[in-house]
């Protein structure tokens, strides 16, 4: 047991990049944190489209996508780790007969707050068949932080944090997601300067 009882848990939060964060992947990014524990954190960037549509991604795994609502949706660059793997962020299926806490798909992380992140092909197969979760965001790759790394970056003012809102993830145009995430804090991008000083 460490003596730090004030550890923060940012699961189901957004990390919003501060202007000083000039990294190509993370500059002006909004990251949805799927899991955060003493061991580290895992998240998906939700506002950096890859140069690929869902229809193309499904073709690459030999599936035909029968969801017109999704075929032209962008696939996102979720982060720099395992960029050849797909990660599907989606609504938890409500009203199914599964016991609480259990998920419908294999290799699924149930996130407190009603979303799930699935890495198995069965969720893609369900979507290809015209079914599956109503709202989905698919990324290639994910973002991860080792033990204490995210906390350290927060201490360096690299990120703002706010409770995640699924509307920003699923129902907001990509180019507005950064500003909408900031608005959850009552901020606009002109209010946050890259010249944050330490007295």
Please check the confidence at residue 5 and state whether its pLDDT lies above 70.
no
The separation between CA 69 and the C-alpha centre of its own chain, rounded to angstroms, equals: 20
Q: What phi, psi does 166 have (nearest 5°)? A: -55, -25
In total, how many domains does the chain have? 1
Give, in order, the Cα–Cα distances in Å from 116 to each of 7, 26, 111, 138, 166.
24, 23, 5, 12, 11
Q: Do the beta carbons of residue 119 and residue 85 sit within 8 Å?
A: yes
Closest listed residue to residue 123, CA positions, set 185, 77, 61:
61
Across 1-36, b (16+ Cβ under 10 Å) vs e yields eeeeeeeeebbbbbbbbbeebeeebbebbbbbbbbb
pLDDT, one tens digit per residue, over 152-176 is 999 999 999 999 999 999 999 999 9
CATH number at residue 95: 3.40.1740.10
2 in any annotated domain? no
pTM here is 0.90
Tell me whether residue 107 is in a domain: yes
Does residue 199 belong to any structural domain of this protein? no
Domain that holds residue 46: 13-191
Q: Flag the least confident range among 33-47, 103-117, 134-148, 167-181.
A: 103-117
Considering only residues 181 and 101, tell me which one the structure prediction assigns the higher pLDDT.
181
**Domain for residue 7, yes or no?**
no
Residue 6 lies in a domain: no
Is 198 part of any domain? no
Residue 66 lies in a domain: yes
131 Cβ contact list (under 8 Å, min separation 6): none
22-79 pLDDT tens trace: 888 999 999 999 999 999 999 999 999 999 999 999 999 999 999 999 999 999 999 9
């Amino acid at each position: 047991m460490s003596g730090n009882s004030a550890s923060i848990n940012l699961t189901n939060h957004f990390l919003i990049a501060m202007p000083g964060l000039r990294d190509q992947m993370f500059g002006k990014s909004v990251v949805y944190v799927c899991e955060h524990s003493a061991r580290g954190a895992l998240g998906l960037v939700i506002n950096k489209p890859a140069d690929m549509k869902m229809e193309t991604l499904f073709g690459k795994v030999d599936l035909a996508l029968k969801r017109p609502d999704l075929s032209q949706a962008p696939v996102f660059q979720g982060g720099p780790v395992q960029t050849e793997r797909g990660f599907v962020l989606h609504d938890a299926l409500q009203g199914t007969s599964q016991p609480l806490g259990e998920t419908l798909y294999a290799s699924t992380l149930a996130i407190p707050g009603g979303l799930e992140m699935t890495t198995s092909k069965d969720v893609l197969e369900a979507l290809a068949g015209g079914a599956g979760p109503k709202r989905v965001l698919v990324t290639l790759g994910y973002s991860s932080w080792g033990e204490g790394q995210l906390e350290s970056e927060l201490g360096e003012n690299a990120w703002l944090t706010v409770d995640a809102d699924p509307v920003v993830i699923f129902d907001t145009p990509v180019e507005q997601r950064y500003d909408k995430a900031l608005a959850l804090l009552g901020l606009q991008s002109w209010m946050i300067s890259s010249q944050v000083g330490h007295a």
